[in-house]
Amino acid sequence: MYPKSKWVSFFLCLFFGCFGIHRFYEGRVLLGIVYFCTCGIFGIGWIIDIFRYLFKPNPYYP
């Protein structure tokens, strides 16, 4: 499994978050399907994810 970039996840969430594309990118397919079917869990999960990715530490930098 390749390491996932925090910033790629953030921008996927920002622009395509209501479709769950960022969840598919991270390998969380079931949650991606839930986001796709519920439009980002009715928009609330999408907004929470934007802030979660924004303040998430990036483990790939020292």
- Angle formed by the axes of helices 44-54 and 6-16, nearest 10°: 150
Q: Is the pTM of this model over 0.85?
A: no
> Looking at beta carbons, which pairs linking 35-43 to residues 24 or more positions away fall under 8 Å?
43/18
For residue 30, what are its two tokens?
């079931």
For the chain, the structural domain boundaries read 6-54
Per-residue tens of pLDDT for the chain, all 62 residues: 567 888 899 999 999 989 999 999 988 999 999 999 999 889 899 999 999 988 888 766 54
pLDDT at res. 62: 47
